[in-house]
Chains A and B, each alone.
Chain A
Amino acid sequence: MAFVFFAYFAVVSIVAGILTVALKNPVQCGLALLALLLHVSGLFVMLNAEFLWAVQVIVYAGAILVLYLFVLMLLNLKTDDRYFHARTPYLLAPAVIGLIYLLFLLVRSPFSGSRGDASTAAILLNGDAHAVGIKMFSEYLLQFEIIGVFLTGAIVGAIVLAKAPRSIETRRDA
């Protein structure tokens, strides 16, 4: 049963990723990206990361994607006939060959390492959000604060960049 769900989420997210890159209309690309994000969040549920599932749906699908669609609608782009780069075939072939070799290496390699203390049973005891919160606010508190400062800086930078520059006349009056 788990395998069926995994196959569904994996196949749909890969197809949606390819559609995001290959579709012509930018709005359709955005909607394909939405399908990708939602199915990737399904993969997170399969990996016992329910908190990340919620964050992925709220932040990625809810905020970032709406920002993309908003800008697409705001700019009202006309779709170019040549929407791929001129040298696409020369890039496509090495990418496919490299990907096949990479998958061949991945399937062969044994993944293992030292185990941590967050086994599935330990996470399910209090829920994933509890486990993430305890870890985040004990060992990763400094990084959490840095991310807060980073996001504030990003918002200020975005507003400063996107603000319409005042004309010289009004600046002289002020």
Chain B
Amino acid sequence: MIPLSAYVAVSAILFTTGLLGVLIRRNFIIVLMSVEIMLNAATINLVAFSHYLESMQGQIVALFIIAIAAGEAAIGLAIIIVVFRGKISTNVDEMNLLKW
């Protein structure tokens, strides 16, 4: 029997990886991929607790997370295309139009 802490530990490691990816990468598309890693880490956590506490709620919320990830990917990639059209770069450092 695998302890619940093992799943939570995997989830924590994946979440930290995704957070680091958001902070250190300069390519906007990779930043969005790192956000997907973080969402997956949260999903592992929810499903693991759902299994060990014998409740269905975690799996339902995990399904909602996947749906929201789909919407987030669609909007994020559309924003990337718009930015790329005006300014030939997807570096997050160079997107400073809304910065004061």
- Tell me the A residues contacting B by CB distance below 8 Å: 2-3, 6, 10, 13-14, 17-18, 20-21, 26, 29-30, 33, 36-37, 40, 43-44, 46-49, 51-52, 55-56, 59-60, 63-64, 67-68, 71-72, 74-75, 77, 80, 82-85, 88, 91-92, 95, 98-99, 102-103, 106-107, 109, 111, 113-120, 128, 131-132, 135-136, 140, 143, 147, 150-151, 153-155, 157-159, 161-162, 164
Contacts and interface: CB of A to CB of B under 8 A. Distances in A.
Contacts of A6: 2, 6
29 contacts: A10-B10, A13-B10, A14-B13, A17-B14, A20-B21, A20-B34, A21-B18, A36-B14, A37-B36, A43-B44, A47-B50, A52-B43, A56-B66, A59-B66, A67-B77, A68-B77, A71-B81, A75-B84, A77-B90, A92-B20, A95-B19, A99-B12, A107-B5, A118-B54, A154-B70, A154-B74, A157-B78, A161-B79, A164-B85
Interface string B59-100: 110111011111111110111111011000011010000000
Contact of B20 (A21, A80, A117, A164): A21
Interface residues of B, number: 70
Contacts of B25: 21, 83-85
A144 to B, nearest CB: 8
Contact of B29 (A26, A51, A99): A26
Contacts of A80: 26-27, 91
B54 A117 contact: yes
Contacts of B1: 2
A151 to B, nearest CB: 6
A45 to B, nearest CB: 10
A29 B21 CA distance: 11
A134 to B, nearest CB: 8
A97 B51 CA distance: 30
Judged by DSSP, the binding face of B is helix
Q: Which of A51, A59, A114, A118 has the most CB of B within 10 A?
A: A118
A109 B12 CA distance: 14
Contacts of B69: 60, 64
A157 B75 CA distance: 7
Q: Which of B19, B52, B73, B85 has the most CB of A within 10 A?
A: B73
B73 A64 contact: yes
A112 B12 CA distance: 18
Contacts of A153: 71
Contacts of A116: 53-57
